């Protein structure tokens, strides 16, 4: 069973990005993939290298262990002022250490995003891909920018746009295929 972790860059309950991850969760083959959404981002403290010497804070350890335990990550991020929300970047800064053995290294990562504006968080997605690549993740060449999210996700958090659902299915398929291929290559090596 493949384990895929969804990480939303939004902390709010009615987040369009978290809704997008929930919609993605319905598109994985449940016999093949165990998909869950990380819920502990809000508890991550600001990165302080002094706190990262002898045992990181517990919420950080939990996040690092979750990233290590899962085979692939699906991020859905909003855009805050043309970039990644600060708390998500901060969480990734924690995950990035120790450099050589950080749990994101070689992990297949797909990035999607939603915003209420027309561009669907494309700049935040680009920044997030760059950050994940810098950390050593295997960033997949997939993209899904959900603009005008309030017209595509209803007040109950349901994705109501079939075209977006098809594109989301493509992202899900690529993530699964490429994660399985990477695992096969690792076994063969
Ligand atoms: C602090 C802040 C900054 C924002 N900056 C942008 C932005 O640069 N570009 C954009 O398209 N939307 C921006 N937005 C609007 C978000 O796209 C919108 O709030 C979206 O619903 C957030 O995602 P969520 O529903 O997953 O929380 C911003 C929102 C906030 C709260």
Task: Write out pLDDT tens, residues 87-102.
Answer: 999 999 999 999 999 9
Maximal C-alpha separation, the chain: 49
Rounded to the nearest whole angstrom, what is the distance from the C-alpha of residue 56 to the centroid of ligand 1?
30
* Residue 61 to residue 64: CA distance in whole angstroms: 5
The pLDDT value recorded for residue 32 is 96
Contact between residue 128 and residue 88 where contact means Cβ atoms under 8 Å apart: yes
Q: What is the mean pLDDT of residues 121-138?
A: 98
**CA 124 → CA 64, 68, 115, 140, distances in Å?**
22, 24, 10, 16
Which of 88, 116, 120, 125 should be mutated for ligand 1, with most atoms under 8 A from CB?
116
Q: What is the mean pLDDT of residues 28-32?
A: 97
pTM over 0.95: yes
Rounded to the nearest whole angstrom, what is the distance from the C-alpha of residue 74 to the centroid of ligand 1?
19
* Residue 56 to residue 79: CA distance in whole angstroms: 28
Is the C-beta atom of 163 inside 6 A of ligand 1?
no
Is pLDDT at 53 greater than 90 in this prediction? no
Is pLDDT at 189 greater than 90 in this prediction? no
Is pLDDT at 55 greater than 90 in this prediction? no
Tell me the per-residue pLDDT of 2-20, one tens digit each, with 9 for 90 and over. Answer: 999 999 999 999 999 999 9
The pLDDT value recorded for residue 31 is 97
Contact between residue 109 and residue 6 where contact means Cβ atoms under 8 Å apart: no
**Average per-residue pLDDT for the chain:** 97
**CA 93 → CA 98, 104, 115, 124, 132, distances in Å?**
10, 11, 24, 16, 10
Query: Residue 82's pLDDT band (boundaries 50, 70, 90)?
Result: very high
Q: What is the mean pLDDT of residues 72-94?
A: 98
* Residue 49 to residue 53: CA distance in whole angstroms: 7
Tell me the per-residue pLDDT of 136-168, one tens digit each, with 9 for 90 and over. Answer: 999 999 999 999 999 999 999 999 999 999 999
């Amino acid at each position: 069973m493949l384990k895929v972790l969804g990480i939303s860059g939004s902390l709010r309950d009615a987040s369009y990005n978290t809704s997008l991850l929930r919609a993605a969760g319905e598109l994985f083959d449940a016999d093949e993939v165990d998909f869950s959404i990380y819920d502990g981002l809000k508890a991550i403290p600001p990165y302080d290298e002094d706190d990262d010497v002898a045992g990181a804070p517990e919420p950080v350890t939990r996040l690092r262990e979750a990233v290590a335990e899962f085979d692939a990550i699906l991020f859905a991020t909003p855009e805050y002022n043309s970039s990644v929300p600060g708390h998500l970047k901060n969480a990734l800064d924690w995950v990035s250490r120790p450099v050589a053995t950080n749990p994101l290294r070689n992990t297949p990562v797909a990035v999607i995003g939603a915003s209420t504006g027309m561009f669907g968080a494309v700049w935040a997605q680009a920044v997030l891909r760059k950050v994940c690549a810098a950390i050593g993740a295997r960033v997949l060449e997939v993209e899904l920018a959900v603009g005008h999210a309030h017209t595509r996700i209803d007040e109950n958090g349901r994705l109501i746009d079939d075209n977006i659902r098809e594109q989301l299915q493509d992202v899900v398929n690529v993530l699964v295929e490429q994660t399985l291929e990477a695992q096969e290559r690792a076994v063969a090596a």
